[in-house]
Structure 1
Amino acid sequence: MRLLEQIQKVSNELIIGLVGAVGSSLNILTTTLTDLLETEFAYDVEIITVSKDILAQHVDEPAHPLNAFERIYRYMDVGNQLRHDHDTDFLALQIARLIAKHRQAWQAQHPDQDASQRRVAYIIDSLKHEAEIQALRQIYTNGFFQLSLYESKTARHSSLIQHYGISPESARILIERDEGEANAYGQHTSEAFHLADYFLKLDKYNPEQSRQPELELRASCLRFLRILFADPYITPTFNEFATYMSFTASVRSADLSRQVGAVIARNNTILAVGSNDVPKFQGGTYWPYLDDETGEVRDLESGRDFMRGFDANTIEKNKIIDDLFQQLAEVIDQSVEQERTAPLKLQIQQILKESKIKKITEYGRVVHAEMDALLSCSRSNISTQGATLFVTTFPCHNCAKHIISAGIEKVVFVEPYPKSKALMMHEDSIMQKWEGREAADQPKLIFEPFVGVGARSFVNLFSVSLGIGRKLKRKSKDGYVLQWDGKTAQPRLPMYGQSYHELEQQIEQLLKDQN
């Protein structure tokens, strides 16, 4: 045993945060994880339901019983208000407080045992803001894992109607609000979803196989837990590898708004990669270059947007808004009493700023990642007929038409993109197999959500020795395969109980004792 291992206090606790859009079957996911942790890994499970355990404590007693729509909407309001009054990570701190109380209660009942060595998982149902996830990762470091469950909007809309008795219009209102509110403290499920360590989906597309989707979800959960508990014989699927490569491609983007990456593959072979960046003469996009005279790595002065100092798309959108406002203001001045013009102008200006004009993307200089990958194939005379596109973000409607035209047969995406009109505009050519249309009369381009280990944890969970976790061993000194047992296995990524200040003090004492 290394000297440091003698003083580091490793915890067996796991904190699993669930993310899913409103209407998702997180209850099924919670039940599945609980059963697997208890039966396959000998873990206790404590469930923290944010709505019941935290938000409900801040809801005033209603004058009349609330229906399901009113209750969900009220909880959204309360969550927003708490984030507004305190900070966007406030609910995460409340969750940490509850976990501490659970631990203290268990310790009081088991005074002769060390609570940190208890095999226990805390499942959080559910998180709605990226700041909550960031805070929990800061608090619990390697011990926190985010699971994101994808269910199609159609399935969630149907679930809200059938299981909660909510009207179709009310279900639509909840879904649109949950996707992402404009203010910083609102519902940000879309912004939180793609931060996951592991992605899951629940397909409800075949009523004749009502149990099949849940069995597939259980298999995915079991695989995640086996990876988490350092099963050394689970390696990446090609989908996981290609998706990781798409994220790797995305990090080279210098776009001022977001980083997106794409990979085109066929027969489990990568054909091209792409990222969203500014195109350059003679093909491709800009890269930094080495200045031979100075030895510095530089960017072309007039190349990428950050070198120019502005985002052309945002500038043009603001010009459109200003132009519309000026024209409307002139009409107001001519037709409205003077004392009413000022407040009316302010109202119109705010409406324009929050309108769909802000979603326009056509004035940007950046080539989208999907197009960059497709054009890379074109420059190299590589056919994309029958290929699969792996992309970090659901393609926009502009890219979708080119993806269809290029002969791509499947798109695997990670982050949903609510602004995309791809499915609405190209339902003749695009099929979502998880929504009951897998048996279409004619073949269509398949869009499906990614399932598997997220890019942020790919190296840590799959690499034998390069990650931050325990090194994996697959064979004995005699050359025989080592056996793995989930009921005694420890988490691959250990969570340490001491701060670096405490470790330094203990190291000082250890070194004194060594002398």
Structure 2
Amino acid sequence: MSELEASGSSGRVSLAEPEHKRIDRLMDRGDELRAQMERGDAVALLGLTAVRKHRTEYNIARDKSLSTDDAAKQPAPATAYIFHSLKHPSEVYMLRRVYGRLFLFLSAYTPRQKRHEALCQRIKRTSKDVSEFHEDANRLIERDEKEADNHFGQNVRDTFPLADVFVDAREPRELRSQIDRAVRLVFGHPFVTPTADEYAMFHAQAAAMRSADLSRQVGAVITNPEGEVIATGCNEVPKIGGGAVWEGTAEDAEIDYRDFKMGFDSSARWKQKIFTEIFERLRSEGWLSPEKSKLDLDQLVDLALNGKGAPFKGTRAAGLLEFGRVVHAEMHALTEAARRGQATRDAILYCNTFPCHMCARHIIASGIRRVVYILPYPKSLAKELYANEIQVDHERISSIRSVTFESFVGVSPNRYLSLFEMPERRKEENGFSVEWDPGNAIPKVHEDISYTKREIEELHDLSEYVRGLN
């Protein structure tokens, strides 16, 4: 994708320049293209163009009688296209709109420390000034994760968790094995079954669907060391008598006080009250400018939190967690285990979102030994507040026992059913199990060729953009 980005730009990137400058320029090119087109998927559209170009050339080489249009419409047999790599969530959404289930998104996980070391080595090989390559590597990794206040900037942090399959890229041999397994699943191997982590995370995602929270749906599952589910939870307002309300239950309907029933998010309301109190004090003590002092408190708070250049937007103060009415999914699962008399010592907690620092303290206290998550949660201070008690993503090696927080590896819950569902048959008529033949295997998921029309629809904006440049 970077090569397409560079070759399609007005200023070609020199591959001979220092590595950190080369990466910066490529990032700049991507940001510029996304901003100019006002589409987060702009760079991936270049990939669509390359796919259609290859398909056209491939089909014409096989059949010289084909017109360019007809050649572009016909799928190239036994061909897969790799988009390497995606940096914005909109790219994933667009490719799913176009190709449906034929699009398989893999996210390769590596701990930040290892990524930093690898990038340092790349920069060191191409730069004469090696004194600042550690700083350059850190800056590039942070920019890659998410560019602050830039809707069309790099955003791997929000793109990574959208994957269909997550693989661990720390060890090449293990990585190859995981990718091989994913390919066997896609091509309908009848005897690849879920791991304990995949099974539990699917249940966690199912639990999340119970939540009617106004902000997000979070689900958690606790299993014993053998992989048996002992408790589930979602982020929801607690129910009198324990747990959370069930939809369609007459008894629960009488005590249903979920936030959407109340009509507001208590966290947002209390945030408004807190900042109103702060500005009231600042004004009474003369700390505000004469211009700002003339505004009423509601205007001041709105400008500070939501206005252009809002100084408090995105701050820790604006993201306080303790004023919400919902029980977090992890706490919901822990309290369910307590109500049912299920021990949590040495248990495993699966959550579709990284636990906040308030949940982390209870996870540690409950004896949970391992936490597995998919989505990041930037507001969490768990790592900072419990640096000795927890270890996040294998970032340090220590002989001291700690609770491990690990990125999920395996088939994502959103592809669990389609990839693990039993194929048409697993045994022959004589009762013997079928033999899977990789040479003749076809993808388990089928789509009609209408995706070639959807490519054209998505490429319309890119065509208009290119015309505007000429």
Give the structure 1 partner of residue 265 of structure 2: 311
Distance 2:249 2:426 in 1: 42
Query: Matched residues, percent identical?
Result: 35
SS of aligned partner of 1:274: strand
Shift of 1:214: 0.8
2:203 corresponds to 1:245:
yes
Worse-superposed segment, 320-329 or 443-452: 320-329
Q: How many residues end up aligned between the 2 structures?
A: 427
Contact 1:179 1:418 in 2 (8 A): no
Give the structure 2 partner of residue 105 of structure 1: 57
Distance 1:362 1:311 in 2: 12
Give the structure 2 partner of residue 167 of structure 1: 133
Worse-superposed segment, 119-128 or 321-330: 321-330
Give the structure 2 partner of residue 487 of structure 1: 439
Distance 1:280 1:102, change over 3 A: same
Distance 1:291 1:407, change over 3 A: closer
Worse-superposed segment, 59-68 or 171-180: 59-68
Shift of 1:134: 1.0
What is the letter of the counterpart of residue 275 of structure 1?
C
SS of aligned partner of 2:404: strand
Distance 1:218 1:62, change over 3 A: closer
What is the letter of the counterpart of residue 229 of structure 1?
F
Give the structure 2 partner of residue 378 of structure 1: 338
CA offset digits 1:405-431 (Å, max 9, x no partner): 000011111123333221222121213
2:241 corresponds to 1:289:
no
Give the structure 1 partner of residue 289 of structure 2: 333
Contact 2:316 2:379 in 1 (8 A): no
Q: What are the residue-to-residue correspondences of 1:64-463 with 2, within 5 Å?
A: 67-86=18-37, 87-111=39-63, 116=75, 118-165=77-124, 167-180=133-146, 181-203=148-170, 213-266=171-224, 267-291=226-250, 303-325=257-279, 330-333=286-289, 350-432=310-392, 434-437=394-397, 440-463=398-421
Contact 1:475 1:481 in 2 (8 A): yes
Distance 1:106 1:478 in 2: 43
Unmatched segments (≥5 aa) in structure 2? 125-131, 295-302, 454-470
Contact 2:4 2:46 in 1 (8 A): no
Contact 1:255 1:276 in 2 (8 A): yes
What is the letter of the counterpart of residue 406 of structure 1?
S
Distance 1:453 1:335, change over 3 A: closer
The TM-score, its normalising length taken from structure 2, stands at 0.82
Distance 2:92 2:451 in 1: 20
Shift of 1:291: 4.8
SS of aligned partner of 1:78: helix
Shift of 1:324: 4.0
Shift of 1:57: 2.3
What is the letter of the counterpart of residue 411 of structure 2?
V
Contact 1:377 1:383 in 2 (8 A): yes
Distance 2:451 2:118 in 1: 45
Shift of 1:73: 2.8
Distance 1:351 1:433, change over 3 A: closer
Distance 1:118 1:349, change over 3 A: closer
Contact 1:321 1:352 in 2 (8 A): no
CA offset digits 1:460-504 (Å, max 9, x no partner): 01112xxxxxx4311111111111111210001013213799xxx
Contact 1:301 1:308 in 2 (8 A): no
Distance 1:290 1:272, change over 3 A: closer
Contact 2:5 2:26 in 1 (8 A): no
Q: Which has the higher strand share?
A: 1
What is the letter of the counterpart of residue 497 of structure 1?
I
Shift of 1:326: 5.4
Contact 1:325 1:349 in 2 (8 A): no
What is the letter of the counterpart of residue 119 of structure 1?
A
Shift of 1:51: 1.3
Distance 1:129 1:215, change over 3 A: same
CA offset digits 1:217-274 (Å, max 9, x no partner): 1111110001111000111111110110000101111111111111100112110011
Distance 1:418 1:402 in 2: 19
CA offset digits 1:173-228 (Å, max 9, x no partner): 3333332334432322222222211011123xxxxxxxxx1111111111000111
Distance 1:265 1:59 in 2: 55
What is the letter of the counterpart of residue 353 of structure 1?
K
Contact 1:202 1:214 in 2 (8 A): yes
User: Quick one: which of 36, 58, 64 aligns to 2:9?
Assistant: 58
Worse-superposed segment, 58-67 or 277-286: 58-67
Distance 1:55 1:376, change over 3 A: farther
Contact 1:299 1:307 in 2 (8 A): no
| CA RMSD in angstroms, aligned pairs only | 3.2
Distance 1:259 1:433, change over 3 A: closer
Shift of 1:394: 1.3
Contact 1:56 1:75 in 2 (8 A): no
Distance 1:333 1:202, change over 3 A: same
Give the structure 2 partner of residue 476 of structure 1: 428
CA offset digits 1:385-442 (Å, max 9, x no partner): 01011111111111111101000011111123333221222121213473351xx323
Distance 1:183 1:321 in 2: 25
What is the letter of the counterpart of residue 448 of structure 1?
E
What is the letter of the counterpart of residue 104 of structure 2?
F
CA offset digits 1:14-38 (Å, max 9, x no partner): xxxxxxxxxxxxxxxxxxxxxxxxx
CA offset digits 1:105-147 (Å, max 9, x no partner): 2122222798625211111111112211111011111210100
Worse-superposed segment, 412-421 or 272-281: 412-421
Distance 2:152 2:5 in 1: 17
SS of aligned partner of 2:371: strand
Shift of 1:300: 5.9
